[in-house]
Amino acid sequence: MLKRSSIFALAFGGLSLPLLATDNTLLLQSDPWCPFVCDGEHKGIVVELAERILQDAGYDTSMELINWARAVYNVSEGSADVLVGAYYGDAPGLLFHKQPIAQSQQCFYALDAHWHYREPASLKGRKTVVIHDYSYGEQGDRLFAHYPPFLAVAGSRLTERRIRMLERGRVDTIIEEKHVFAWELDKLKQSGMNLPDLHEAGCLEPLGMYIGFTAVDEFKLLPATVDRALRRLKAAGELAPLLESYGL
């Protein structure tokens, strides 16, 4: 956790960045959301890029995976420093960079191959399951304000539990980020779970993913640092292969 004392400036890439003379470790928090944020052999594309950029800027980093709602709260109130893998709508009070680290897309899944999401009214009468305290981007959050989800779930094994709800008829629609859902389905298949024939029934508009910093003066230059680093990695041809390695 970054201490708010003993500050000095370090020049990095033409910017003057606030760093600490004693402890300049940033505490990064998120929840597992692979391939963006992973728990295991792979760190996740957003974690890899966040750590690389911040370490290149002179910071040490410590990554912690916890409940998403808790991570949002911790970074917002300052007991952690960086929220990893967020949409702007997850925590509007944080400091965000402008260029997305990766693109994500929320899609709908159903057993009924005849149903398709084409417009908000498509959800009328549907029993949609969402994850408690998640943002689905500005478009998704507006959508659920008009057509409230039937059920919000929290806890562990969320993909498996939602699929079982679908099979048992408790819900008829799942919304999930398409890369995350594909990753989770592959894991379940490898574990030997028999999966139903799920139908991708349409998607919302693609969304950028970001890292957000606690809104304090010490971090006010970091969003610009992230944007500069992403432009540099893209220009050097280093960004695309890393994204492709995660199937993005």
pLDDT tens-digit readout, 68-93: 989 999 999 999 999 999 999 889 99
Predicted local distance difference test score (pLDDT) of residue 2: 56
What contacts 72, CB < 8 A, 6 or more positions away? 83, 86, 90, 91, 133
Res 221 pLDDT > 70 = yes
Task: Specify the DSSP class assigned to residue 33.
Answer: B
Mean pLDDT of the chain: 88
Predicted local distance difference test score (pLDDT) of residue 197: 92
Q: Which amino acid is at 163?
A: I
Instruction: Give percent helix, percent strand, percent coil of the chain, each to the nearest 5.
Output: 35, 25, 40
In a 13 Å sphere around the CA of 98, the CA atoms on its Cβ side amount to 6
What contacts 221, CB < 8 A, 6 or more positions away? 15, 16, 17, 18
Read off the pLDDT band of 1 (50, 70, 90).
Answer: low
Instruction: Write the pLDDT tens digit of every residue in 108-150.
Output: 999 999 999 999 999 999 999 998 888 888 888 888 888 888 8
Read off the pLDDT band of 155 (50, 70, 90).
Answer: confident
Instruction: Write the pLDDT tens digit of every residue in 135-144.
Output: 888 888 888 8
Find the mean pLDDT for residues 50-64. 96
**Cα(135)–Cα(144) distance, integer angstroms:** 10
Instruction: Write the pLDDT tens digit of every residue in 158-192.
Output: 999 999 999 999 999 999 999 999 999 999 999 99
Predicted local distance difference test score (pLDDT) of residue 22: 40
